[in-house]
């Protein structure tokens, strides 16, 4: 029982995520977050684009009793056909650039994102 408690506490202590100040910072986290978020949105506003994605789905049909499906098959033959499936969705194409700008701004203000665990 003692080992389980030790292992559990070790696993919990190994996880550390969030923004941490590196050295002396000129602003609090809330101030830096608000400023960097506003700057990132001003520099890279939402820009939606219609994206078309084509995937191929498999359609399977079982063999009917009226058909001959092959020797020793007992009507269990399944064959597949590929059919294109088109999906259209809206994507914000500036999202990646905006997130990158936000992270760079936070670093300039003395904050570092520690977003990893022992499993990463």
Residues in the chain: 120
Least confident of 20-24, 79-83, 106-110: 79-83
Q: Which tokens belong to 25?
A: 């910072």
Is 10 part of a structural domain of the chain? no
Instruction: Look over the chain and give the mean of its residue pLDDT values, rounded to a whole number.
Output: 76
Q: 53 and 83, same structural domain? A: yes
Is 35 part of a structural domain of the chain? yes
Q: Could you tell me the pLDDT band of residue 13, with boundaries at 50, 70 and 90?
A: low
- Whole domain around residue 70: which residue ranges? 49-92
The answer to whether residue 50 scores a pLDDT higher than 80 is yes
Q: 85 and 54, same structural domain? A: yes
Q: Which residues pair with 51 in a beta bridge?
A: 89
């Amino acid at each position: 029982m003692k080992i389980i408690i030790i292992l559990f506490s070790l696993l919990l202590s190994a996880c550390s995520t969030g923004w941490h100040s590196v050295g002396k910072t000129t602003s609090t986290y809330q101030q830096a977050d608000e400023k960097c978020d506003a700057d990132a949105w001003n520099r890279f506003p939402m820009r939606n684009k219609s994206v078309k994605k084509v995937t191929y789905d498999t359609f399977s049909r079982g063999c009917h009793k009226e058909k001959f499906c092959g020797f020793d098959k007992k009507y269990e033959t399944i064959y597949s056909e590929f059919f294109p499936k088109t999906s259209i969705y809206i994507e914000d194409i500036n999202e990646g650039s905006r997130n990158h700008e936000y992270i760079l701004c936070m670093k300039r203000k003395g904050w570092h994102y520690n977003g990893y665990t022992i499993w990463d």
